Structure 1
Amino acid sequence: MNWLAHLLLSEPNVEIRLGNLLADIVKGSARQEFNFHIQRGIACHQVIDKFTDNHIVVQRSKERLNSSYRRFAGVLVDVFYDHFLAKNWSQYSHVSLDEFTAEIYESFCAYQGQIPPIVREVISRVAAEDWLGSYRNVSGIEIALLRISRRLSRRRNRLFNLTPAINELIAHYDDLEDDFQEFFPQLFSYVQNWCVA
């Protein structure tokens, strides 16, 4: 799952939510420098990813995509599922998507604890450009794919362009949404049980 799902599934604590995002940005032993709550958020992120990556419905969604995207199918399905979460938000949250994202942005921007400057920079861009709220529109997903392409290009020192994969979302829209609706309640329940364990 992508960031919107990670934040919804996270315990409602700013540091735990930050940890859920930090897991994608801060890697390896650097994670050990964070406090208990941020590390719990990182652990929650890992629980979500492991459950998602091994789920038969998610595998089915990946197989729907053109084989030319096989290497990035997991990333694409994560982003596509965030679109369906945003689209069907009222099924999973008692507060509106706009209220939820505004609270996330405000709490993250006001956070005074120690986090790496790169994380503050990312948080600032996420809030200013309303990344999370933009997932409700297919055009927002296309922009998200452009951001991921840029990040992959920098990281791997070669050009990647995942934006044409928006056509995979459009071509398989109903089937992917059905997959999401079958999968997400199971993930939701799994994570809720992990949180209280």
Structure 2
Amino acid sequence: MNHLMHCWLARRCEGHIAGGFLGDFVKGRIPNALPEDLQQGIRLHRYIDRISNQMPEMRETYWRFGTSLRRVAPILLDLIADHLLAKQWERHGQGDLEQFTARCYATISKYPMSDEAKRVYKYVKKVDLWKTYDDFGTMVTVMHRILKRLKFTDRAPELVNIKPKLDDFYQDFLKYYPILVHKTDQWLQQHSNGLTSTTETIPTPIVQ
């Protein structure tokens, strides 16, 4: 999953929200010096990444990207999931998306982060990147950057084939999103150990 989905699934504890972003910048063993709630947020981040990569409901979606993008399909699908969550926020989220992203940025700023994480965080906050995930044009720009970083720039022209399939991607989303919610909720119940900061519950996903 990408950052918006990570933070959304983790929103009931500040350390979990921070882990939804910072988990991408902590490799290997989690330092004991980090705040306990952030350590757990990073563990949650890794759990969500692991189960999403293994879920048949998500893996079955990869073929929609076509043969040329197959190797990067898992990464692109994470971005598509963020786009669909943002686009359908009134249906799958709570409150206002801009308020939620502002809350995430404020929360993340309370926690220690590496220089690389700070650099990315400052940019994301400055442009409110996660709020703009509801715009598919933003997602295409992000996808181009990822392909460039992975040295797959020759595949970039294939991204034009994604937009006509967004309705199909959304139908796939309606299959795997409820499972992600359920498995995350189970993990939180088993591992929170009193760290959950609110009584807020993840709403039951609406599926039609």
Band the TM-score falls in, shorter-chain normalisation: 0.7 to 0.9
1:80 corresponds to: 80
2:135 is aligned, of 134, 137, 141, to 137
1:4 corresponds to: 4
1:128 is aligned, of 126, 129, 144, to 126
Q: Does the CA contact (< 8 Å) of 1:84 and 1:177 recur in 2?
A: yes
Q: Does the CA contact (< 8 Å) of 2:17 and 2:107 recur in 1?
A: no
Which amino acid is the alignment partner of residue 176 of structure 1? F
Which amino acid is the alignment partner of residue 134 of structure 1? T
Which amino acid is the alignment partner of residue 187 of structure 1? L
Q: Does the CA contact (< 8 Å) of 2:18 and 2:104 recur in 1?
A: no
In 2, the alpha carbon distance for the partners of 1:108 and 1:164 equals: 35
1:149 is aligned, of 128, 147, 150, to 147
CA apart distance, 1:149: 3.2
Size of the aligned set, in residue pairs, is 189
In 2, the alpha carbon distance for the partners of 1:12 and 1:120 equals: 23
In structure 2, stretches of 5+ residues that fail to align are: 191-208
Asked if residue 188 in structure 1 is aligned to residue 181 in structure 2, the reply is: yes
In structure 1, stretches of 5+ residues that fail to align are: 153-158
CA apart distance, 1:169: 2.0
Q: Specify which structure has the higher proportion of helix.
A: 1
Superposition map of 1:46-195 within 5 A: 46-109=46-109, 111=110, 113-152=111-150, 159-161=151-153, 163-195=156-188
In 2, the alpha carbon distance for the partners of 1:48 and 1:2 equals: 10
TM-score (norm 1): 0.87
CA RMSD after TM alignment = 1.9
Q: Does the CA contact (< 8 Å) of 2:57 and 2:175 recur in 1?
A: yes
* Higher mean C-alpha deviation, range 86-95 or range 178-187: 86-95
Which amino acid is the alignment partner of residue 178 of structure 1? Q
TM-score (norm 2): 0.83
Q: Does the CA contact (< 8 Å) of 2:18 and 2:107 recur in 1?
A: no
Please give the per-residue CA displacement for 1:73-103, whole angstroms capped at 9, x wherever unaligned.
1001111111111111122222111110111
